[in-house]
Homo-oligomer: A and B are copies of this chain.
Amino acid sequence: MKTPICEMLGIEFPLLAFSHCRDVVASVTNAGGFGVLGASSHSPEDLERELSWIDERVDGKPYGVDIVCPEKFEGKGLDLKPEQLVAMVPAQYRDYVAKILSEHGVHFEEIGEEPFRMFATLSDTIGQELLDVSFRHPIKLIANALGVPPQFMIDRAKAEGVPVAALVGAKEHAIKQVQAGVDVLVVQGTEAGGHCGEVTTMVLVPEVIEAIRPVRSVPVLAAGGIVTGRQIAASIALGAAGAWTGSVWLTTEEAETAPYTVQKMLTASSRDTVRSKGRTGKFSRQLRSAWTDAWMPEAKGPGALPLPLQSIVAENVLRRLDTLAENGNKGAQELATYWVGQGVGLMNKVKPAREVVREMIEDYLDAVERVGGSVAD
């Protein structure tokens, strides 16, 4: 197939697949799409290992890396150690989390000795280190998941001849990104899993394309809710060069999603997700659960802390709850959640990633025919 993104990235099908799981990245790339490894919580050593693993399996076919260099976070510029950040969490949050858990029959002690922990490395230099590792591998795209990419990232990518992608959830941000020198915009609607804005994919994609035209037109990838080929065709109709997907890979055979959460996703409808600050401190879409409910304004709790402190409160607790849920703990099952978009309503079966790509291509071709048929004599 032929779209501006197929040409830019050297792929056969205009599908980008974001995943934290190297197997998904390699499978999608091998199936004719473009895998993007989400490396936001990787150490440089981990990332080196993952990318080498991918290189051994994709035989030179193209893939990319997504890292997070947020413009703003609590403690930025102070170069704080993880334990210093953990110490910044007010004491009342320990009490509140203990209360949430106990209301569902889970004892705070079951979470382990250090319930509040920092997973992602969010130092001032980590972005630079992850870039160094990434560019030791033949990556064909580098993406920044949050905010305008820092200048060193744009400069380095230009020097390496690799395009830079950035996620946007609003027209105003898209204009800033293009002005900063971004080469590909991932225009992410509110239906997306993970961090997202308020505007839907159907509206935001044409609005952004229109808004950046006077500045500089770059290829746009539609993101948010896209789990089928017909939605990728719809994205092309809207003027996008392709689609950026994430949630759909969470229920593939290759994914490392917690087993109980996979079961929740398979039975969830599109109405079972919620935009909540309860996991990272910024709005991100997740499966609705007793945990996300506890961080809504209606719950009258202390409210979410800013990035990255809320992740310190939530991330380890939720990972532990996943294990408890898998072992049959009812309360943990009620609390268990993970990032996923509204497209979860269309994710009803565990499949291999290559099978998902194959079905998407078929469904895409059907949609192309349907659209063409509407103007046939």
Q: Collect the chain B residues with CB atoms within 8 Å of residue A370's CB.
A: 236-237, 239
**A336-370 CB contacts (< 8 Å) to partner B:** 341-343, 345-346, 365, 367-368, 370
From residue A368, how far is it (CB to closest CB) to chain B in Å? 5
- Name the contact of A375 in the complex, choosing from B204, B237, B368, B375 (C-beta under 8 A): B368
Decide: A234 near B224, CB < 8 A? Known: A191-B200, A346-B210, A374-B368.
no
Q: Collect the chain B residues with CB atoms within 8 Å of residue A236's CB.
A: 237, 370-371, 374
User: In the complex, A3 Cα to B203 Cα: how many Å?
Assistant: 23
Q: Collect the chain B residues with CB atoms within 8 Å of residue A373's CB.
A: 2
User: In the complex, A197 Cα to B272 Cα: how many Å?
Assistant: 13
Does any Cβ of B come within 8 Å of A252's Cβ? no
Check if B342 sits within 8 Å of A203, measured CB to CB: yes
From residue A218, how far is it (CB to closest CB) to chain B in Å? 17
Check if A234 sits within 8 Å of B238, measured CB to CB: yes
Check if B238 sits within 8 Å of A270, measured CB to CB: no
User: In the complex, A1 Cα to B111 Cα: how many Å?
Assistant: 61
Does any Cβ of B come within 8 Å of A45's Cβ? no
User: In the complex, A3 Cα to B373 Cα: how many Å?
Assistant: 8
User: In the complex, A140 Cα to B280 Cα: how many Å?
Assistant: 52
**A278-328 CB contacts (< 8 Å) to partner B:** 297-298
Check if A203 sits within 8 Å of B374, measured CB to CB: no
User: In the complex, A374 Cα to B271 Cα: how many Å?
Assistant: 32
User: In the complex, A278 Cα to B203 Cα: how many Å?
Assistant: 24
Q: How many A residues, CB 8 Å from partner? A: 54
**A200-228 CB contacts (< 8 Å) to partner B:** 200-204, 206-207, 210, 224-226, 228
Check if A207 sits within 8 Å of B170, measured CB to CB: no
Does any Cβ of B come within 8 Å of A171's Cβ? yes
Decide: A345 near B203, CB < 8 A? Known: A230-B237, A236-B370, A371-B372.
yes
- Name the contact of A345 in the complex, choosing from B171, B191, B269, B298 (C-beta under 8 A): B171
Q: Collect the chain B residues with CB atoms within 8 Å of residue A172's CB.
A: 269
Q: Collect the chain B residues with CB atoms within 8 Å of residue A24's CB.
A: none
- Name the contact of A371 in the complex, choosing from B201, B204, B269, B371 (C-beta under 8 A): B371
Q: Collect the chain B residues with CB atoms within 8 Å of residue A231's CB.
A: 202, 206, 237-238
Does any Cβ of B come within 8 Å of A78's Cβ? no
Q: Collect the chain B residues with CB atoms within 8 Å of residue A146's CB.
A: none
Check if A374 sits within 8 Å of B207, measured CB to CB: no
Q: Collect the chain B residues with CB atoms within 8 Å of residue A14's CB.
A: 374
User: In the complex, A204 Cα to B228 Cα: how many Å?
Assistant: 12
Q: Collect the chain B residues with CB atoms within 8 Å of residue A376's CB.
A: 2
Does any Cβ of B come within 8 Å of A54's Cβ? no
Decide: A201 near B198, CB < 8 A? Known: A269-B171, A372-B368, A374-B368.
no
8 A-B residue pairs with Cβ-Cβ distance under 8 Å, sorted by A, are A201-B202, A202-B202, A203-B341, A203-B343, A236-B237, A236-B370, A237-B367, A239-B367
4 A-B pairs closest in CB distance:
A234-B234, A234-B237, A233-B237, A200-B200
Q: What 16 additional pairs, Cβ within 8 angstroms, besides A204-B270, A365-B375, A368-B375?
A: A1-B375, A170-B269, A171-B270, A172-B269, A189-B202, A190-B190, A191-B200, A191-B203, A199-B342, A200-B202, A202-B225, A203-B346, A231-B237, A233-B371, A236-B237, A371-B372
